[in-house]
Structure 1
């Protein structure tokens, strides 16, 4: 009986309100990201973290030794759309609490899920090169945001996410895929244009939200433990699908948007609305 009560408490937390301060909203809109403390309790992270971890190791197909992997493969194990694999993972991904924060930060009327992804950086895993996520997405509006949820405390040695503040407003590097090249080109350009890079640890329960065009990266995992992170990508519920501009967007249009017609809104079965006013 007790387990049922506990689970109900967890679900209640995932759907409860988290008030984002006006200061945090203003910071997000200016800098392109924000870090928020105590968004999820240790109990929720522990319970759903173990479910997500089990799914990652069950669904992972990347088993090459680290030295044989590309830079991208060394960055993390990447498992997507866990919500379609497991009902409990779906409860976490569909959290109204997290979706409402995304809605409030962007100042829209509601958000849809684009997709989720677990990103597990193994011990000795390499850097995640500088990149902007929206390079991959055939979406018309910049009203997109990713929540980055570490499932454990994430000190600097584990490679927390770092953000180039205000970089969502510039057009540099918007045609570069994540790679050694993007790391070099963007590191040089961001430095040349004097962007401040925010690179700090994450406490347990602390999460970040970053805009689709905000440049970000992560250091290597120099610890002895995997850096376990769950992410969800949200878009304005009124987002419009645009003509793909590169081969990655062609693939994304098929995989995450079910080839819904160009100029239309995403469809509810694959991209349901998770929160709406």
Structure 2
């Protein structure tokens, strides 16, 4: 897909390769996530962050007060598939640099986009309950990964993403949607099983990648400013669509996979290839 070059030097940075160390790849495959420093420059984050923030403000439909919202609604404003709304946002979402990191971590020859989403935790926004993303996805393989990109420094009071290390390999909680119940049950189980939790802050330019079955959560935003985050979900180019197992997967199959046939590759116009090894 052709993109418009608004700022050639910044777009060049989004295409340049980032050298993922063997140690980082090994850490990701063992623990189900990895945090990488200096992946994106402050200039890239400020420029594209302003575009993303503008789209969030324009497209957001959640106007209820915090007191009226559910736990999920208090966690963040969630705006999806910004790449279809704005050509400059598309430049960011289609970053070859970020997509290649995903392919390197998973050890695959190419990745497709599942969808993107902006996650903005407002001041006084609540915690994000423990959950695993792939509960929502009608996909056959665990070779999925989400990049979590803070658009500002993210200290503890803003609610950085926290990961239960090595939880991608356990079967607990794979039938639980994100909710107060998932927070209670998974917090208890993860404690019983003695999983190490990494809940450290994020520096500007630092991003994380976590596997689809890795359990993660985030604390509340007790600061006075929004915690602004952009994410993209990648899947192995050889992924296949499976029969939905719950109503959420039914909705995802229709919304993000264009109801492509079960057993086929997700090759619709909504799921472009973002990186393929030459």
TM-score > 0.5, shorter chain as reference: yes
The aligned runs of 1:126-145 (5 Å cut-off) are 126-145=126-145
Distance in 2 between residues matched to 1:66 and 1:16, nearest whole Å:
41
**Contact 2:260/2:268 (CA < 8 Å) preserved in 1?**
no
Taking structure 1 as reference, are residues 137 and 16 closer, same or farther at Cα in structure 2, changes over 3 Å only? same
Determine helix, strand or coil for the equivalent of 2:112. Answer: strand
Distance in 2 between residues matched to 1:168 and 1:187, nearest whole Å:
15
The answer for unaligned runs of 5 or more in structure 2 is: none
The aligned runs of 1:51-130 (5 Å cut-off) are 51-130=51-130
Distance in 1 between residues matched to 2:268 and 2:173, nearest whole Å:
32
The question of 1:267 aligning with 2:267 is answered: yes
The Cα of 1:268 is off from its aligned counterpart by 4.0
Distance in 2 between residues matched to 1:222 and 1:132, nearest whole Å:
24
**Contact 2:258/2:268 (CA < 8 Å) preserved in 1?**
no
Cα displacement string for residues 82-121 of structure 1 (whole angstroms, at most 9, x for unaligned residues): 0000000000000000000000000001100000000000
Which residue of structure 1 lines up, in the alignment, with residue 161 of structure 2?
A: 161
Aligned-residue RMSD, C-alpha: 1.0
The answer for unaligned runs of 5 or more in structure 1 is: none
Which residue of structure 2 lines up, in the alignment, with residue 147 of structure 1?
A: 147
Determine helix, strand or coil for the equivalent of 1:239. Answer: coil
Determine helix, strand or coil for the equivalent of 1:43. Answer: helix
Taking structure 1 as reference, are residues 255 and 5 closer, same or farther at Cα in structure 2, changes over 3 Å only? closer
Determine helix, strand or coil for the equivalent of 2:39. Answer: coil
Which residue of structure 1 lines up, in the alignment, with residue 186 of structure 2?
A: 186
Determine helix, strand or coil for the equivalent of 2:117. Answer: strand
Taking structure 1 as reference, are residues 5 and 180 closer, same or farther at Cα in structure 2, changes over 3 Å only? closer
Distance in 2 between residues matched to 1:17 and 1:116, nearest whole Å:
21
Distance in 1 between residues matched to 2:116 and 2:171, nearest whole Å:
26
Distance in 2 between residues matched to 1:186 and 1:247, nearest whole Å:
21
Determine helix, strand or coil for the equivalent of 1:210. Answer: strand
The Cα of 1:41 is off from its aligned counterpart by 0.2
Which residue of structure 2 lines up, in the alignment, with residue 176 of structure 1?
A: 176
Give the TM-score normalised by structure 1. Answer: 0.98
Report how many residues are paired: 274
Q: Where has structure 1 moved over 4 Å in runs of 4 or more?
A: none
The Cα of 1:231 is off from its aligned counterpart by 0.1
Distance in 1 between residues matched to 2:72 and 2:262, nearest whole Å:
30
Determine helix, strand or coil for the equivalent of 1:252. Answer: helix
Which residue of structure 1 lines up, in the alignment, with residue 231 of structure 2?
A: 231
The Cα of 1:6 is off from its aligned counterpart by 7.7
Determine helix, strand or coil for the equivalent of 2:8. Answer: helix
